[in-house]
Structure 1
Amino acid sequence: MKVPETSRVLAPDEALGMPDLTRPLDQFELELGDPDYAANSAMQSLGSLSVTDRRNFYFLTLLYYAQGIPVGLTFGSIPFLLKERLSYSEIGIFTFASFPYSLKILWSPVVDAFYIPKFGRRQSWIVPIQIFSFILLLVLSKHVAYYIENAETKLVALTIMFGTLVFACATQDIAVDGWALTLLSKPALPYASTAQTIGINGGYFTSFTVFLALSSPEFANKYFRKTPIPDVGLVTLSGYLQWCAFVYFIATAAVIFLKHRDPVPSRLDQGQSVIGIYKSMISVLKLKNMRSLTMVHLLGKLAFQAAEAVTNLKLLEKGLSKEDLALVVLIDFPFEVIFGYYAARWSSGPQTLRPWLIAYVLRLIFASVSMSQVYFFPESGVSNWFLTYVIFVHTLGSFLATVQFVSITAFHTKIADPEIGGTYMTILNTLCNLGGQWPRVIVLAGVDWFTKAYCDVNGERCVTMEEKAACSALNGTCIVVRDGYYFMNFVCLGLGVFLFTTFIQKTMRRLQSLPTSAWRY
């Protein structure tokens, strides 16, 4: 469908009614609590939804939770486990395992077009994919310990195994995102982003935060055991993967036995083929407004890459114990669920992207603050005051990231065409994910490239894990002359400030003012 040019005429920025983003956050919160603002919001409280909508909300949360499990492992826990054995550049190779999440746009039309009518349009994909994930998790549980212990020689195989798991997760995500647009009634539709936030964050933090905490022998001995047991945590990676497989089994049973068939949209009733959906996808990508949103997605997360991809690894390198880091992220976990709910409420009005814009500015500030944790790391050891500071920075940074995630997801839900819901949501989410993935390999490699260090025994370069091991074998110490972490942080922040002031802010203000018809082809 071609939208008439007159329906896409844009009002100038001063006519959009956009408030000044330089106002304090508490003033923003007061505005959100204003009765007139609330009256304009279409989002009801969860308790006021119908029984069916509430049941579907919890069901979607379960599916998104299952999806978050491999995401947390691949994006979080496995890189931390590999840090003891690999350099930053080598860890960057493993990040390719997360790329299927950013490339799912390539096969999303297939998921939208092919299905078994008697089984259900979305169930036809979710059930077999989750069964495959269940089997793969069981297989991984038998072999993952060996591959982690031999990461230097098994890195490619480890990347392929977890990349396959993420591929299955990404395919499930296409179907679930499309289903969410029709599973909830229109008044309850804003809760699709809430279910996604709570579910994916819950799965992510279970696989990252909770797993790292419970698998840490130091954490278990310090907080749970009266008699310490060396080198043994409360759970192992193999045991955790078996538990993850059980979660997939429960989620699959719920899809099979609890849900009715997903209705097929009218266009597909008329025989739209997979080729037709690919053409629709291309038409969507050609939209002028979609091109603008694409550029924001691809460039918008560049500012935070060094702070988010490297800071925790640097804290560990500086001497923060794993049990203290586990405590930090464990404290953060319940706040993520609470933040997700309220961020959805803030993003439900006519200015859906306002929280995203405010959080962007604050994340720029806290990316600088997070760098201070590394710079001022106490040489005498971690005190309670410094640990409290790390907890504060980590929690507030997670809050701002959650606000941005929920706000942009709510915007995606608002503009997506439910007729090709799986493909449309995948286009939007893929662009968003890709913006956080493509810079990460460069940033991780850049930390090594711009780090200047030498071994005090022989004066040789001492940056990679092999070089550090060679220096240690000579009873030497690596002397860091220049840490590439700070250089990459300043580069990312500088680019972020430039892009926000010259392009991102005015573009997002304009896009949120457009009618839904401006996002149809």
Structure 2
Amino acid sequence: MQGLATQGSLAPHDLPQFYLLVALYFVQGIPVGLAFGTIPFLLKSMAKETSFTTLGIFSIATYPYSLKILWSPIVDSIYSDKIGRRRSWIIPIQLVSGVLLFALGFAISRGLVFTGVDDAFHGRSDGIHDLSILALTFYFGTLVFLCATQDIAVDGWALTILSKQSLTYASTAQTVGMNIGYFLSFTIFLSLNSNDFANKYIRSVPKEYGLLSLGGYMKFSGAIYVLLTFYVIFYTKERPLQDILPMNYTTKKDDEPKVLVEYGDGDAIGTENTSSLIYTYKCFARILKLPTVRTLAVIHMISKLAFQCNEAATNLKLLEQGFKREDLAVTVLIDVPFEIIFGYYVAKWSSDANNSPHFSQNNGWSRWLVGDPGVLTPWLWGFLGRLASAILGSIVVKTFPKDGEIGKLYFLVVIVQHLLGSFMSTVQFVGISAFHTRIADPAVGGTYMTLLNTLSNFGGTWPRLVIMSMINYFSVYECYIPASKEKLRYHGKGMDVCTKDLNGDVSILRDGYYITNAICVTIGILLYFGFLKRKALQLQSMPITAWRCQ
């Protein structure tokens, strides 16, 4: 059927809905950036004695984002017809998230939570102390839980808020919005939070603190959440074009034929059983029994193991070795425009692949690497790129200058390594998100999309605690105690014992990072050529009916 927009392009009538989705995903990226990036970074940079096991414990705060499938049928089935199926959840969840962000920001500024992290901004000089990692994990885990619940509703809304002509651009909105929110909370915040960065690149008169405190940023973020919630309340509808649907759109000339704009019908009034919780859970159970879904689940659960050590620990190891915080902030800051600008073209690539499975031809070595072209081709290329970045990560850490003086060539290599990993992560994310949008059944859109996204997210979070523990397990430390001039050798948790209990100086005799990263990369190569590529090529060739809840 003819549409207002050509295949692969964003229809003009979908622009307002597209921008709304970008905004909704943007606020999701704020707590995600804090929990996944900023807090571990602050812990390691401001309290270098923080062990990788401690960081692994904090990573539990990110688990709700990967376990949201457990309560997604509730979000998908219980709602108010008057408010709307998705708005019934988005409005209260965003409001609570905004209030909690503001309250946590206030508590951090007063030194009641994450004690010492904002001391320099308020005339205190104690630094991070009396840290309860479990309490910090609980607070930010609650934020991530609310963010995950909102994501369920937004994913479901994306399937019906955009017309079928523009549906693949839901992943574009997610990529652009999440990246902006994530990098604002991680990269940009860390740059503005660093006194070294501000003194070196912005200020003429040096000061002991940066331009933006953690508490201040969280209070600002809470205000953004609340303002967006008010916009959703007063200026949006569950079905943006419900006043004229299912009427036909006419073109500018009356003598031209009318054009029908199609929308997903999963949320349409009268759709059978969309509000039945029992039906949703039953359908969810049937989806899990589909061979295609089971195969995709296995791919999601094991594919990200290959680059977990690199993405969780490489930057932290650079900090540990003496890479300056402001310089690392610059390397990450350079990544922001690349992610936002090129993220769109990656999404366009995935959109073209979804609309035309044979949009290009792979020949020679490229065919050997990723097989015949199809909807998962971007995802396959992204995997190989992240694998290359993981290998380069070990090289970057290993070749860190012994004298601590960072030359231009080394600095450039660090930037290239980070850009490669980050960009290829975006390629994979957009590619798999577009694939999820293509195969999800609108009848249980929120639950189906959440299941697929949960599997993808959990594949990246479950190994993190294991990886961090492996780094500690394989590491050997030497502790020099100045008071007694004694040298002790420790495994694993020796760093904490040395610095906190014995007031000693730590030196690393064997760094478990290299061993762990080598194990991950080796597993990744074997998995890719032995399983992942073959199964991805099979899945992209399956008909849509193979993914439907019968």
Which of the numbers 473, 497, 500 marks the counterpart of 2:525?
Answer: 497
User: Which amino acid in structure 2 is aligned with residue 517 of structure 1?
Assistant: T
Cα deviation, 1:223-255, whole Å, max 9, x if unaligned, reads: 11001012x100000110011012102221221
1:307 paired residue number: 310
2:200 paired residue number: 222
Which deviates more, 383-392 or 234-243? Answer: 383-392
Q: Does 1:63 align with 2:18?
A: no
Which deviates more, 124-133 or 344-353? Answer: 344-353
Alpha-carbon distance between aligned partners in 2 of 1:213 and 1:461, rounded to the nearest angstrom: 36
User: Which amino acid in structure 2 is aligned with residue 403 of structure 1?
Assistant: V
Which of the numbers 150, 159, 169 marks the counterpart of 1:191?
Answer: 169
Please give the secondary structure, in 2, of the residue aligned with 1:99.
helix
Cα 1:239–1:153 shift into 2, 3 Å: closer
1:180 paired residue number: 158
Which deviates more, 76-85 or 491-500? Answer: 76-85
Alpha-carbon distance between aligned partners in 1 of 2:541 and 2:129, rounded to the nearest angstrom: 50
Please report how far the alpha carbon of residue 59 of structure 1 lies from its aligned counterpart in structure 2 after TM superposition: 0.6
Check the 8 A contact 1:267/1:419 in 2, yes or no. no
Please give the secondary structure, in 2, of the residue aligned with 1:347.
helix
Q: How many residue pairs were aligned?
A: 474
Check the 8 A contact 2:77/2:274 in 1, yes or no. no
Matches within 5 A, 1:35-434: 42-44=7-9, 46=10, 49-50=11-12, 52-83=13-44, 84-85=46-47, 86-145=50-109, 146=111, 147-149=113-115, 152-230=130-208, 232-262=209-239, 264-265=267-268, 268-270=271-273, 272-348=275-351, 349=353, 350=357, 351-380=374-403, 381-434=405-458
Alpha-carbon distance between aligned partners in 1 of 2:60 and 2:271, rounded to the nearest angstrom: 34
User: Which amino acid in structure 2 is aligned with residue 221 of structure 1?
Assistant: N
Please give the secondary structure, in 2, of the residue aligned with 1:478.
strand
User: Which amino acid in structure 2 is aligned with residue 186 of structure 1?
Assistant: K
1:440 paired residue number: 464
Please give the secondary structure, in 2, of the residue aligned with 1:337.
helix
Alpha-carbon distance between aligned partners in 2 of 1:464 and 1:438, rounded to the nearest angstrom: 25
Alpha-carbon distance between aligned partners in 2 of 1:170 and 1:199, rounded to the nearest angstrom: 15
Check the 8 A contact 1:53/1:184 in 2, yes or no. yes
Please report how far the alpha carbon of residue 266 of structure 1 lies from its aligned counterpart in structure 2 after TM superposition: 6.0
When the two structures are superposed, what TM-score results if normalisation uses the length of structure 1? Answer: 0.88
User: Which amino acid in structure 2 is aligned with residue 289 of structure 1?
Assistant: T
Please give the secondary structure, in 1, of the residue aligned with 2:207.
coil
Alpha-carbon distance between aligned partners in 2 of 1:436 and 1:461, rounded to the nearest angstrom: 33
When the two structures are superposed, what TM-score results if normalisation uses the length of structure 2? Answer: 0.84
Q: Which runs of 5 or more structure 2 residues have no equivalent in the other structure? A: 1-5, 116-127, 243-266, 358-373
Which deviates more, 198-207 or 456-465? Answer: 456-465
Please give the secondary structure, in 1, of the residue aligned with 2:507.
strand
Please report how far the alpha carbon of residue 328 of structure 1 lies from its aligned counterpart in structure 2 after TM superposition: 0.8
Please give the secondary structure, in 2, of the residue aligned with 1:453.
strand
Check the 8 A contact 2:114/2:131 in 1, yes or no. no
Superposed CA RMSD: 1.7
1:35 paired residue number: none
Please give the secondary structure, in 1, of the residue aligned with 2:8.
coil
Please report how far the alpha carbon of residue 465 of structure 1 lies from its aligned counterpart in structure 2 after TM superposition: 4.1
| Greater share of residues in helix | 1
Please report how far the alpha carbon of residue 271 of structure 1 lies from its aligned counterpart in structure 2 after TM superposition: 6.3
2:538 paired residue number: 510
Check the 8 A contact 1:81/1:148 in 2, yes or no. no
Alpha-carbon distance between aligned partners in 2 of 1:165 and 1:428, rounded to the nearest angstrom: 22
Cα 1:136–1:465 shift into 2, 3 Å: farther
Alpha-carbon distance between aligned partners in 2 of 1:480 and 1:141, rounded to the nearest angstrom: 36
Check the 8 A contact 2:495/2:506 in 1, yes or no. no
Alpha-carbon distance between aligned partners in 2 of 1:511 and 1:266, rounded to the nearest angstrom: 33
Check the 8 A contact 1:104/1:170 in 2, yes or no. yes
Q: Does 1:479 align with 2:507?
A: yes
Cα 1:271–1:449 shift into 2, 3 Å: closer
Please report how far the alpha carbon of residue 210 of structure 1 lies from its aligned counterpart in structure 2 after TM superposition: 0.4
Cα 1:94–1:267 shift into 2, 3 Å: farther
Identical positions, percent? 49
Check the 8 A contact 1:364/1:493 in 2, yes or no. yes
Please report how far the alpha carbon of residue 404 of structure 1 lies from its aligned counterpart in structure 2 after TM superposition: 0.5
Please give the secondary structure, in 1, of the residue aligned with 2:508.
strand
